[in-house]
C-alpha cells in the first residue's frame, strides 16, 4: 500500500451509506463497467470480505473483466492495476501497488485484494476513509499490449538420409552453371547448382557447387530449415572421391550454401585424375533435413 495525491486515471465510485450494504445483506457490490486499455472492467467490492475467517474482518476489492462474452475463444489479457481508496482528511489516495502483471482469462477473470483495508480502520472516521458513512474507491488499469511472436520448431527424426546422383554429360560444353532438376527431402524442394569454371569468387580457379533450397524464397523472415548434406564428385580411377560436408540453416536471405572452391578446375579437367570420363562426371548428394522453424499463428 502507498499514498498519492493524483486521482486514479480510469474509474471512481462513491458509495453513500456504506454501512447499509452489510445491514441490507448486500455482501457484494459490482460497479458499472468502465473502459481501460481497450477492454471493459468493473470493480467488485465486498464490504464484509470476500471470504470468511480473518478476511471477513476486512473490505475486499477486486478488479474483474467485463463483457467477456464478446471476446474470442481462448482470450487472455495481461494487465497491471491499482485499486484506490480516497482519504477525505488528507485529500489523497491510499492505493494498492504490487507491480505484478496479472493474467486475466476465462478461468481467472478477477484479481484483487482480499484485505484492502480492515473494517475497523475504515469505520474509524479519524482515518478519513469513511466520513458521514461515505467512501470513494477507484481503479487504474494498464493493459500490456501483446506483440507475441510464436515460433514452431520441428526437430525431425531422420533415419535414412536422402541420396541422389546425376550423370552430367558434355561437361566441357557447360556454360556458366549447371542446374539439377528439383528433388524433395524433408518436405522441402531442393536443387544443385554447379559452376564448372567457378562462381564469381572462384572464377577460372575452382569448380563451385551449391545446394539450393527452392522453398526458402517463400519463407517468412523468421522461417528457416537446417540441413546436413554432403556432395561428392565420383572418381572413376581412384577409390577416393572428392567430397564436402556441411550443416547450414537455409533462410529467405540465404537460399544457397555449399562449396565455392570444391575442386580446382585443373584437377577436375585433368584426364589422369579420374573425375571426368568421356566428358561425363558423376555427382552425388546425401542430405538430412534436421530442423524446420516456422511462424505459428498468435494465440488470441
pLDDT in tens, 33-61: 999 999 999 999 999 998 765 567 899 99
Q: How many residues does the chain have?
A: 300
Other CB atoms within a 10 A radius of the CB of residue 139 amount to 25
The C-alpha cell that represents 244 in the structure block: 564436402
CA 236 to CA 272: how far, in whole Å?
Answer: 10
Tell me the average pLDDT of the chain.
Answer: 89
Residues 6 or more apart whose Cβ sits within 8 Å of residue 62: 43, 44, 46, 50, 110, 111, 112, 113
pLDDT score recorded for residue 152: 72
293 or 173, greater pLDDT: 173
Neighbours of 143 (CB within 10 A): 16
**Domains in the chain with CATH codes:** 2-143 (2.60.210.10), 151-295 (2.60.210.10)
For residue range 87-129, list pLDDT tens digits in order: 999 999 999 876 789 999 999 999 999 999 999 999 999 999 9
The predicted-structure confidence for 192-237, as pLDDT tens digits, reads as follows: 999 999 999 999 999 999 999 999 988 888 889 999 999 999 988 8
Q: What is the pLDDT of residues 142-160, one digit of tens each?
A: 998 876 666 777 666 666 7
Q: Tell me the pLDDT tens digit for each residue of 250-267.
A: 999 999 999 999 999 999
Which pLDDT belongs to residue 299?
Answer: 44
Q: Which three cell numbers stand for residue 195?
A: 559452376
CB 12 within 8 A of CB 132: no
Tell me the mean pLDDT in the region 25-32. 92
Rounded CA separation 131/113 (Å): 22
Note the pLDDT of residue 1. Answer: 82
DSSP string, the chain: -EEESSPPSSEEEEESSTHHHHHTT---EE---EEETTEEEEEEEETT-SSSGGGGGEEEEEEEEE-GGGSPTT-EEEEEEEEEEEETTTTEEEE------EEEETTB-EEEEEEEEEHHHHH-GGGSSSBTTBEEEEEEEEE------EEEEEE---SS-EEEEEEE--GGG--S-EEPPPEEETTEEEEEEEETT--TTSTTTEEEEEEEEGGGGG--TT-EEEEEEEEEE--SSSSPPEEEEEEEEE-SS--EEEEEEEEEHHHHH-GGGSS-BTTBEEEEEEEEEEEEEEEEPPP-
Amino acid at each position: 500500500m502507498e499514498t498519492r495525491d493524483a486521482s486514479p486515471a480510469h474509474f471512481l465510485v462513491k458509495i453513500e451509506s456504506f454501512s447499509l450494504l452489510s445491514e441490507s445483506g448486500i455482501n457484494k457490490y459490482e460497479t458499472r463497467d468502465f473502459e481501460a486499455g481497450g477492454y471493459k472492467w468493473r470493480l467488485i467490492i465486498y464490504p464484509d470480505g470476500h471470504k470468511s475467517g480473518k478476511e471477513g474482518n476486512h473490505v475486499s476489492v477486486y478488479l474483474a473483466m467485463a463483457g467477456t462474452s464478446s471476446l474470442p475463444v481462448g482470450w487472455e489479457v495481461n494487465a497491471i492495476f491499482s485499486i484506490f481508496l480516497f482519504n477525505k482528511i488528507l485529500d489523497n489516495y491510499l492505493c494498492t501497488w504490487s507491480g505484478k502483471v496479472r493474467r486475466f482469462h476465462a478461468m481467472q477473470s478477477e484479481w484483487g485484494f482480499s484485505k484492502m483495508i480492515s473494517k475497523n480502520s475504515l469505520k474509524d472516521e479519524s482515518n478519513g476513509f469513511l466520513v458521514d458513512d461515505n467512501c470513494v474507491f477507484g481503479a487504474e488499469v494498464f493493459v500490456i499490449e501483446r506483440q507475441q511472436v510464436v515460433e514452431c520448431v520441428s526437430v525431425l527424426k531422420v533415419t535414412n538420409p536422402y541420396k541422389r546422383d546425376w550423370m552430367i554429360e558434355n561437361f566441357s560444353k557447360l556454360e556458366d552453371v549447371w542446374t539439377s532438376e528439383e528433388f524433395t527431402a524433408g518436405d522441402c524442394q531442393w536443387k544443385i547448382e554447379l559452376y564448372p569454371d567457378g562462381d564469381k569468387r572462384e572464377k577460372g580457379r575452382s569448380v563451385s557447387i551449391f545446394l539450393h533450397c527452392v522453398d526458402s524464397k517463400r519463407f517468412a523472415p523468421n522461417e528457416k530449415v537446417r540441413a546436413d548434406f554432403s556432395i561428392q564428385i565420383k572418381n572413376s580411377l581412384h577409390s577416393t572421391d572428392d567430397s564436402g560436408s556441411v550443416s547450414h540453416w537455409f533462410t529467405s536471405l540465404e537460399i544457397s550454401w555449399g562449396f565455392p572452391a570444391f575442386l580446382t578446375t585443373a584437377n577436375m579437367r585433368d584426364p589422369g585424375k579420374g573425375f571426368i570420363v568421356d566428358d561425363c562426371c558423376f555427382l552425388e548428394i546425401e542430405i538430412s533435413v534436421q530442423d524446420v522453424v516456422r511462424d505459428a499463428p498468435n494465440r488470441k
